[in-house]
Amino acid sequence: MCKPVLDDVADCELYNKIKKVSEASTLEELQHSTEPIMDYLANAGCLRPLKSIGDRDRLVEDILMFQVVNRVRGPFERFRDGLKTLGILAKLQQHPEAFRSTFCNQPNQLTADILDDLFEINWSENGSNKRANENRVIAFWRDYLQDVEEEGSQRLGAILAFATGSDQVPPIGFHPQPSIAFHHDTEIPQRFPVANTCINCLRLPLYSTYSAFKSNMDFAIDNTHGFGKE
């Protein structure tokens, strides 16, 4: 029988709330951690009196079973019925490994080149002063990716998460495509890079040296913790 785990929950906000429930060490903490999700528990059929800390693990299991399995059971069953139409389901059950790459996401390890290719650059007009400044910053960006690659794919994933909220490329890609924009406003100077994860856009200041680019990028990434899965 399928036994989902916390990492199977894609909703970051719900992930954080379930995590707090799972980490409760006293009955009081357990009751407090469930208060923000009382409506959710009622809709999921998981609402019950909590009489001891021993109720915690069963509650978490029930929440995960609902969120990961039961909530999508109807669409999944229809999908399975569709696979039966041309005999695909039978072949899939006979040869699961042959179909694994088709049905299961196996993310590629991030590299500097993959990350560089992933971002579209919002260039200014070719030949303009703005474009010259942007060319310099993008050269810094590419040097930075190469340096970070030496630290491992996890660090590259942190850069991607800073810009998009995801530390790996989703199975169906990003929508919208990640992009790089530039901060040209000299009246409102910007020291650190900023990101809008709603539109997957990384905005870079116009640094004049690589050392400034690297130190400020490192600071921004190291001090921006979010999305619940660090």
**Model pLDDT, residue 1:** 57
**Residue of 12, 46, 198, 201 marked active site:** 198
**% of the chain exceeding 70 in pLDDT:** 96
Who contacts 69 (Cβ-Cβ below 8 Å, separation ≥6)?
2, 4
Average pLDDT over residues 80-105: 91
Residue 173 has pLDDT above 60, yes or no: yes
Who contacts 88 (Cβ-Cβ below 8 Å, separation ≥6)?
none
Quick one: 112-222 is in which CATH superfamily?
Hect, E3 ligase catalytic domain (3.30.2410.10)
Query: Are 135 and 126 within 8 A, CB to CB?
Result: no
The gap between the terminal CA atoms of the chain, to the nearest Å, is 29
Banded model confidence at residue 229, pLDDT cuts 50, 70, 90 = very low
Residue 226 has pLDDT above 80, yes or no: no
Whether the model pTM is above 0.75:
no
User: pLDDT tens, 112-135?
Assistant: 999 999 999 999 999 999 999 999
- Written as one letter, the residue type at 177 is Q
Banded model confidence at residue 225, pLDDT cuts 50, 70, 90 = low
Tell me whether residue 201 is one of the annotated catalytic residues. no
**Burial letters for 100-125: b for 16+ Cβ neighbours within 10 Å, e otherwise?**
eeeeeeeeeebebebbeebbeeeeee
Domain-by-domain residue ranges, the chain?
Answer: 1-104, 112-222
**Model pLDDT, residue 230:** 43
